[in-house]
Chain A
Amino acid sequence: GAVVSQHPSRVICKSGTSVKIECRSLDFQATTMFWYRQFPKQSLMLMATSNEGSKATYEQGVEKDKFLINHASLTLSTLTVTSAHPEDSSFYICSASRLGVGGYTFGSGTRLTVV
């Protein structure tokens, strides 16, 4: 079955630093990858949609200069949280849509804590 690997699963960083989160589709090519953020006991909020080789499309209210998304290949998308602040502490989850097949496979998430 389709597997999406997300790394790291947990990260703690200092305020002002940047953190990169990777999302890889292991056994399929992902046309599109999506990035979500989830605060405790809340739902998943879509942050952006990324297509391989093109600029990401950000949802309203999401700062594109703060949350840098790169989708360099059909199997890898990265989310970089720049100049992190404690309010960026959250659970970040990616999902990938399979080329020609559709459907969505989710990564296991990254717990980011900014101290």
Chain B
Amino acid sequence: SQQGEEDPQALSIQEGENATMNCSYKTSINNLQWYRQNSGRGLVHLILIRSNEREKHSGRLRVTLDTSKKSSSLLITASRAADTASYFCATGRNRDDKIIFGKGTRLHILP
């Protein structure tokens, strides 16, 4: 089963621009995580935000969480060619419990 939706499904932007991806989910959560996946490869954990947090930063990444709207956003600032990948949000209802992935956003950074 899948928890939610990311939008857009695909995004192409010029290098140096900011990229924003959104994630919506359906049930109550304990945490929400964002992952990156390069084509045909494993997942890289980017950031985890807990249900009692509203915003979190890590380098060029900024994640927000709005539990009232059941949505999250991932902002990548000053995008680079190496940021080209698929990005997934994943939600967990309890710590250590299974996490369910959204459908993902395919991000393409144009040189």
Q: Which interface residue of B2, B42, B101 has the most chain A CB atoms within 10 A?
A: B42
Find out whether the CB atom of B2 lies under 8 angstroms from the CB atom of A43. Answer: yes
A-B contact count (CB 8 A): 53
Contacts of B1 in A (CB 8 A): 46, 59-60
Binary B-proximity of A96-108 (CB < 8 A = 1, otherwise 0): 0100001111111
Closest to A104 in B: B99
Find out whether the CB atom of A43 lies under 8 angstroms from the CB atom of B88. Answer: yes
CA distance A21 to B55 in the complex (A): 38
- Do A107 and B42 contact each other (CB < 8 Å), given the known contacts A44-B101, A60-B1? yes
CB of A85 closer than 8 Å to a CB of B: no
CB of A67 closer than 8 Å to a CB of B: no
Main secondary structure of the interface of A (DSSP, over half): strand
Contacts of B41 in A (CB 8 A): 108-109
Q: Which interface residue of B43, B88, B104 has the most chain A CB atoms within 10 A?
A: B43
Contacts of A46 in B (CB 8 A): 1, 98-101
CA distance A103 to B92 in the complex (A): 10
- Do A93 and B42 contact each other (CB < 8 Å), given the known contacts A43-B104, A59-B1, A60-B1? yes
Closest to B2 in A: A43
CA distance A43 to B91 in the complex (A): 13
CB of A28 closer than 8 Å to a CB of B: no
Binary B-proximity of A3-31 (CB < 8 A = 1, otherwise 0): 00010000000000000000000000001
CB of A77 closer than 8 Å to a CB of B: no
CB of A54 closer than 8 Å to a CB of B: no
CA distance A104 to B101 in the complex (A): 13
Binary B-proximity of A26-48 (CB < 8 A = 1, otherwise 0): 00000110101000011111100
Find out whether the CB atom of B2 lies under 8 angstroms from the CB atom of A45. Answer: yes
CB of B109 closer than 8 Å to a CB of A: no
Find out whether the CB atom of A49 lies under 8 angstroms from the CB atom of B103. Answer: no
Closest to B9 in A: A41
CB of B59 closer than 8 Å to a CB of A: no
Contact of B42 among A45, A60, A108 (CB under 8 A): A108
